[in-house]
């Protein structure tokens, strides 16, 4: 029933197509622009603009030597020497701090004298000439002390320091 009602009210008894009348009138061409003027302007815009060769004084792709010489940085030898000394000083301080921190972690647990004295450090047995913590070389084992050497400095650890 709904489809029948839609046909009756919507389209009527027969299909009728509406005819549209399209009436287009182009705008009048202004008197200042003619097709010849437009084509001439398009032709001019396509041509590459060239700078006359006599106006070019230097090759734009070459670097000017005078400017290159000015931009080279000058290095003061005294400044370079001082910077190197400062870098070395900071490296020595960092190495000394690393040695001190590692030395604080080493614990001497026991010492045993004899013809070949040995020391027990951090649970491992060492004798003179061996390396402790990959930094220190044992130079002497005597009494309750062990002498370690690293980077030209001598350090002594003792069983008395053990808390």
Distance from C-alpha of 110 to C-alpha of 130, rounded to nearest angstrom: 16
Specify the fold of 81-161. SH3 type barrels. (2.30.30)
Domain ranges of the chain: 81-161
Chain center to CA of 112: 55
How many other CB atoms are there within 10 angstroms of residue 55's CB atom? 6
Phi-psi region of 55 (alpha: psi -120 to 50; beta: other; left: phi over 0): alpha
- Residue 132: the pLDDT is 92
- Residue 92: the pLDDT is 93
Mean pLDDT by 10 residues, the chain (163 residues): 71 59 71 78 75 78 64 73 92 92 91 91 93 92 92 88 46
């Amino acid at each position: 029933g709904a489809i029948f009602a839609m046909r009756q009210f919507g389209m009527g008894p027969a299909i009728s197509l509406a005819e549209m009348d399209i009436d287009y009138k182009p705008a009048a061409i202004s008197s200042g622009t003619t097709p010849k003027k437009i084509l001439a302007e398009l032709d001019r815009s396509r041509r590459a603009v060239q700078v006359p060769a006599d106006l070019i004084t230097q090759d734009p792709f070459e670097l000017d030597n005078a400017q290159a010489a000015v931009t080279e940085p000058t290095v003061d030898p005294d400044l370079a020497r001082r910077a190197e000394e400062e870098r070395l000083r900071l490296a020595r301080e960092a190495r000394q701090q690393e040695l001190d921190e590692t030395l604080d972690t080493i614990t001497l647990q026991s010492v045993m004298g004899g013809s070949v004295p040995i020391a027990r450090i951090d649970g491992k047995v060492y004798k003179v000439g061996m390396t402790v913590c990959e930094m220190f070389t044992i130079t002497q084992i005597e009494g309750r002390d062990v002498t370690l050497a690293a980077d030209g400095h001598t350090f002594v650890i003792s069983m008395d320091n053990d808390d």
